[in-house]
Amino acid sequence: VSFGVVQDSIESIEIEPLRWNQLAEITVCLDSRDMLPPPLTKEEKDEITHHTAWRWFQTLSNPRLIYLAMHDFVTKQMNVFKTAESEPFTVWSAHDSTLIALLC
């Protein structure tokens, strides 16, 4: 089971370890199905989730970090809007975390 995390082999973990948000999503999914691996407790899963949320809020509350995280994306989106012939209706689709970052 990959949980949306691409890994060609076990060695790939040494090259690119799981990010906190990936770990949180995986553990929440496993917990919702009562499939947490035996060494991992629900309390540890909660700690992972809380730490991930803390990291997001640290990034989103820091003007420099939010600029670094979102500036290129926002610039590209604005260029699309500026070059469009006419847009009577525009739909943006993104992860909730991306939309929250845009609002900040």
User: Predicted confidence band at 59 (pLDDT cuts at 50, 70, 90)?
Assistant: confident
- Residue 91 or 24, more confident: 24
pLDDT of residue 57: 86
pLDDT of residue 11: 58
pLDDT of residue 15: 66
Work out the number of other CB atoms within 10 angstroms of the CB of residue 5: 15
Q: Mean pLDDT of all residues in the chain?
A: 81
pLDDT at 103 over 80: no
pLDDT of residue 1: 45
Q: How many CA atoms lie within 13 A of 17 on its CB side?
A: 4
Q: Where are the domains of the chain?
A: 12-60, 63-103
Q: Can you tell me the mean pLDDT for 48-67?
A: 89
Predicted confidence (pLDDT) per residue in 77-95, tens digit: 888 878 777 766 777 777 7
